[in-house]
Amino acid sequence: MKGAVILIIHVVRPGDTIFRLSQAYNVPYQELISSNGLENANQLAVGQAIVIPADSIPHTVTRGQTLYSIARAYRVALNDVVAANPQITNPSQIFVGQVINIPVSTQKLGTIEVNGYAFPNIAGGILQGTLPHLTYLSIFSYQVRPDGSLSTINDTPLIAAARQARVAPMMVITNIEEGASFSSDLAHTILTSNAVQETLIANVIRILDDKNYYGLDIDFEYIFPEDRENYNNFLRKVTSRLRPLGYVITTALAPKTSAGQVGLLYQAHDYPVHGALADHVILMTYEWGYTYGPPMAVSPLNQVRRVLNYAVTAIPSQKILMGMPNYGYDWTLPFVRGSAARTISNVDAAALAARIGSEIQFDEAAQSPFFYYSAEGRRHVVWFEDARSVRASLRLVAEYNLGGVSYWTINRFFPQNWLVLESMYNVRKLL
């Protein structure tokens, strides 16, 4: 295609096919398939969001419309509409059923930074397809041991690929027990021993230097509330040692809605201190809907707003990278506490709805898609992300003047997301 490309989000109606959408929007058939990650182009779900990279929006004239009224409805200058439709010889004479091309502004909302968390086992093709859209690649993770030593991970290929793509590779350290999960006790051991911290910091600096990392991301979670100030002091020590060496420091924070929010996940995360010390903070604004919880959107927009409303009062907004989930969940109904939902990719969720003939619905408050289906005599509900939910979330970045976003994780390729992101923002490159 020639000229500036805009992104249209078309919500599938009964009878829509990729072939018909290709003809209606004058976009190559194969481009629509790849832009939406469609495995079977012959199966679409009613209510499914399809992204359409197009030069303009086709509008079919209805009774009573004039070129002026159409231009006004799309908030486009009349002269621009006339210029985009050289086939119209008399602008005052258009007829019902006539198709008019509507040029739409391609002005972006600004330049932002984009972080993507990746596990070392990410497929090479997915990594290469994602790196052009990233500022940082955070490789997850070096697990801290009780003595301050670190687990080993195969990060060298990812670091090399990141730097080749002008993406800044970030070392990630976590208080995850090897073979288990985040450990409050492990964090306590680290945060209450100066000797362990000295060993840990020395090991971090060695790896940062040996592996050619750009900076450090500290993702310590489920810290005992009584270790809050110990964690703050640890961050002070880390930043004082790493920043003179030229490294940037990022921390990951639980999604708090107030300074005094209670709960093991929240209390030790001191927003003002992290905001003052770190170069960036990643707000983990996801997991409202989670594996062992009741069915709901993973990252409901109304809940994310509550977090941002507090966060920007405690942290400089340009330091904030808002968390973006790159996954959904499939729950078996009725929900039974203790039962586990199945993780599903956004591409697979839409494909499942199309394959079984479920209609995708859209929750306006959460700005998230969902659908129901039945299998083996059981009812299911799936909440996931699509181009509409991505666009709604990304608008918050400009609204709150944030520094950017952070994706958990990029191990599954979601082409709609990157097309929406690139249509709205320029992505900053640091290398």
Distances (CA, A) of 209 to 156, 168, 428: 12, 14, 24
CB 256 within 8 A of CB 222: no
Bridge partners, 430 (sequence order): none
What pairing do the DSSP bridges indicate for beta strands 99-102 and 378-383? unpaired
Q: 221 an active-site residue?
A: yes
Element (H, E) at 168: strand 168-174
Query: Distance between CA 110 and CA 424 in Å, rounded?
Result: 8
Query: Angle, to 10 degrees, between the axis of helix 228-242 and the axis of helix 184-191?
Result: 60
Given 31, 113, 177, 221, the catalytic residue:
221
Query: Distance between CA 396 and CA 416 in Å, rounded?
Result: 18
CB 40 within 8 A of CB 81: no
CA angle 365, 418, 346 (to 5 degrees): 55
- Say how far residue 349 (Cα) sits from the centre of its chain: 16
Looking at the annotation, which residues are catalytic? 221
